[in-house]
């Protein structure tokens, strides 16, 4: 089993597995309109995801980049102005990974090892975004490619894979792993941009690490106070059970939840630690029921969440707020838990595909064309938006991009929404979103509960 130690609302906001069963298909999820020609993001190196054409963009999201190639382009602007190759003539750059025709970006994710394919959807999301930009002509005429490494869920391997790639690529995008502290020992504090879902306590503190779902470096909050306040006021929640896998980074995120829950005026029950490979959650569900918990939060991965949902029904616990975590979003939970997943109630700081915005539909379309059938989940959203964050900065760096110029652009990104796929957040200041939506599963499908459109203000 794989575990996802993501904080919500900042690893939470919006929070791969190979799903079994077929209650909710990926095709239903993305409503794709078919794949066309277009550019590809190549997958090379260990555990590469392969190549694939992307369909013609529909729905209005704009490709990022600077059409003029001018240094200082606003990376916060929606789309940044398209990367039309004809509008910008590439100039020679000595930056690693950059030629006159190509920009290579690295990705080190968990693909094999004890939790196989944990990082597959995050990597696929990043690749889909590169496909999307290539379909628009690339960045100043340069195509984007992805060079992949596999850390096998081992910090030492994450370090060695990052070290191996650091001189071959311009920067890193869409890394999806819970052992990113390994790579932080290699590139942390350098001028190598890393735009990824940052999890580790050491990684969080690196000035050159930028997350589409930021967690404060102090780690003492998950930014979810407003969400717990909403659950208290609207669902009658009073006492919250917490379940997490046996991992130090997971425990750190749990402490943030305890602080947030308490600040919202609820009681945080003693957190329950389970083995990473736990498959029987009946005892856990009974313990929270016996403790009088009427809400819950987990930092489990989706397989564990599915087992917990089944156990809750089995023991007859009528929980008011089964908030499994933003990482529960995607088609896998209803596939795994069946009808037991109905009623799941999660807060997200990203849009959802079901009835979502034009930008979300464009993402879904390219993801289906590019992802080789991977489910579109929270991590896929994070991969896409992380790639956009970095590619916008590369475009702002001009016709001869350098790492220093890209870092300077990233340090100006204080109101990032990825074309309104995300609620506003500040990657530069490492501040997560304060706005959110509430979604639930009904009849095997996700749907928005609150607000009717957009994001609720905190």
Distance from C-alpha of 118 to C-alpha of 177, rounded to nearest angstrom: 7
Query: Residue 240 pairs with which residues in a beta bridge?
Result: 268, 295
Distance from C-alpha of 111 to C-alpha of 410, rounded to nearest angstrom: 28
> Does 31 or 415 have the greater pLDDT score?
415
pLDDT at 139 over 90: yes
Banded model confidence at residue 32, pLDDT cuts 50, 70, 90: very low
What average pLDDT does the segment 85-93 reach? 81
Distance from C-alpha of 398 to C-alpha of 276, rounded to nearest angstrom: 45
pLDDT at 74 over 50: no
Q: Which of 131-140, 154-163, 251-260 shows the lowest per-residue confidence on average (mean pLDDT)?
A: 251-260
Query: What is this structure's pTM?
Result: 0.83
Q: What sign does the dihedral 323-325-331-334 (CA atoms) show?
A: negative
Residue 356: alpha-carbon gap to chain centroid: 17
Distance from C-alpha of 142 to C-alpha of 191, rounded to nearest angstrom: 21
Residue 171: alpha-carbon gap to chain centroid: 18
Share of the chain above pLDDT 70, in %: 81
Distance from C-alpha of 162 to C-alpha of 363, rounded to nearest angstrom: 27
Q: Is 330 left (phi over 0), alpha (psi -120 to 50) or beta?
A: left
Task: Kindly report the average pLDDT of the chain as a whole number.
Answer: 84
pLDDT of residue 87: 73
Token pair, residue 441, equals 């599963």
Q: Report the candidate in 275, 335, 370 with the shortest Cα–Cα distance to residue 18.
A: 335
pLDDT of residue 30: 34
Distance from C-alpha of 391 to C-alpha of 170, rounded to nearest angstrom: 11
pLDDT of residue 353: 96
Banded model confidence at residue 44, pLDDT cuts 50, 70, 90: very low
Q: Report the candidate in 326, 324, 371 with the shortest Cα–Cα distance to residue 30.
A: 371
What average pLDDT does the segment 30-35 reach? 30
Q: Report the candidate in 184, 7, 122, 55 with the shortest Cα–Cα distance to residue 386.
A: 122
Q: Report the candidate in 101, 143, 159, 151 with the shortest Cα–Cα distance to residue 122.
A: 151
> Does 322 or 6 have the greater pLDDT score?
322
Q: Report the candidate in 411, 385, 395, 391 with the shortest Cα–Cα distance to residue 105.
A: 391
Token pair, residue 146, equals 């992805």
pLDDT at 83 over 80: no
| 40, 53 Cβ separation under 8 angstroms | yes
Banded model confidence at residue 201, pLDDT cuts 50, 70, 90: confident
Banded model confidence at residue 222, pLDDT cuts 50, 70, 90: confident
What does the DSSP 8-state code read for residue 24? Answer: S
Banded model confidence at residue 458, pLDDT cuts 50, 70, 90: low
> Does 49 or 83 have the greater pLDDT score?
83
Query: Residue 118 pairs with which residues in a beta bridge?
Result: none
What average pLDDT does the segment 106-122 reach? 94
Count of residues making up the chain: 458
Distance from C-alpha of 430 to C-alpha of 210, rounded to nearest angstrom: 7
pLDDT at 225 over 50: yes
Phi, psi angles (nearest 5°) of residue 312 = -60, -45
Q: Are strands 239-245 and 295-298 parallel, antiparallel or unpaired?
A: parallel
> Does 133 or 20 have the greater pLDDT score?
133
Q: Report the candidate in 382, 406, 368 with the shortest Cα–Cα distance to residue 139.
A: 406
Q: Which residues, in sequence order, are CB contacts of 146 under 8 Å at separation 6+? A: 41, 42, 43, 44, 49, 104, 105, 106, 107, 123, 126, 127, 130, 173
pLDDT of residue 26: 38
Residue 401: alpha-carbon gap to chain centroid: 26
Phi, psi angles (nearest 5°) of residue 103 = -125, 120
pLDDT in tens, 238-257: 999 999 999 887 888 899 99
């Amino acid at each position: 089993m794989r575990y996802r130690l993501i904080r919500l609302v900042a690893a939470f906001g919006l929070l791969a597995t190979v799903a079994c069963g077929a209650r909710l298909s990926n095709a239903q999820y993305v409503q794709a309109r078919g794949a066309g020609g277009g550019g590809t993001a190549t997958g090379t190196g260990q555990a590469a995801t392969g190549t694939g054409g992307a369909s013609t963009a529909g729905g209005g999201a704009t490709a990022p980049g600077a059409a003029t190639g001018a240094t200082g382009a606003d990376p916060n602007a929606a789309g940044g102005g398209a990367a039309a190759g004809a509008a910008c003539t590439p100039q020679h750059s000595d930056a690693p990974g950059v030629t006159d025709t190509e920009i290579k970006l690295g990705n080190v994710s968990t693909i094999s090892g004890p939790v196989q394919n944990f990082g597959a959807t995050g990597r696929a999301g990043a690749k889909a975004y590169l496909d999307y930009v290539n379909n628009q002509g690339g960045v100043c005429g340069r195509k984007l490619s992805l060079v992949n490494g596999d850390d096998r869920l081992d910090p030492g391997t994450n370090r060695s894979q990052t070290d191996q790639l650091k001189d071959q690529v311009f920067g890193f995008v869409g890394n999806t792993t819970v052992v990113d502290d390994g790579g932080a020992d290699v590139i942390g504090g350098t001028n190598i941009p890393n735009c990824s879902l940052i999890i580790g306590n050491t990684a969080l503190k690196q000035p050159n690490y930028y997350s589409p779902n930021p967690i404060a470096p102090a780690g003492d909050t998950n930014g979810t106070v407003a969400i717990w306040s909403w659950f208290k006021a609207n669902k009658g929640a009073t006492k919250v059970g917490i379940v997490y896998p046996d991992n130090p980074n997971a425990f750190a995120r749990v402490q943030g939840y305890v602080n947030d829950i308490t600040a919202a005026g609820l009681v945080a029950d003693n957190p329950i630690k389970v083995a990473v490979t736990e498959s029987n959650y009946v005892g856990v569900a009974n313990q929270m029921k016996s403790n009088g918990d009427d809400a819950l939060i987990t930092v489990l991965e989706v397989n564990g969440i599915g087992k917990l949902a089944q156990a809750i029904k089995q023991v007859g616990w009528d929980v008011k707020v089964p908030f499994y975590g933003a990482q529960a979003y995607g088609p896998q939970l209803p596939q795994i838990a069946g009808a037991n997943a109905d009623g799941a109630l999660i807060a997200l700081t990203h849009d959802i595909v079901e009835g979502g915005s034009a930008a979300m539909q464009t993402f879904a379309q390219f993801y289906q064309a590019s992802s080789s059938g991977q489910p579109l989940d929270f991590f896929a959203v994070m991969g896409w938006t992380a790639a956009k964050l970095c590619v916008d900065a590369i475009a702002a760096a001009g016709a001869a991009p350098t790492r220093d110029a890209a870092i300077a652009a990233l340090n100006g990104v204080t109101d990032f929404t990825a074309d309104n796929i995300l609620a506003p957040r500040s990657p530069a200041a490492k501040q997560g979103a304060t706005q959110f939506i509430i979604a639930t599963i009904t009849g095997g499908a996700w749907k928005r509960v609150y607000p009717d459109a957009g994001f609720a203000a905190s």
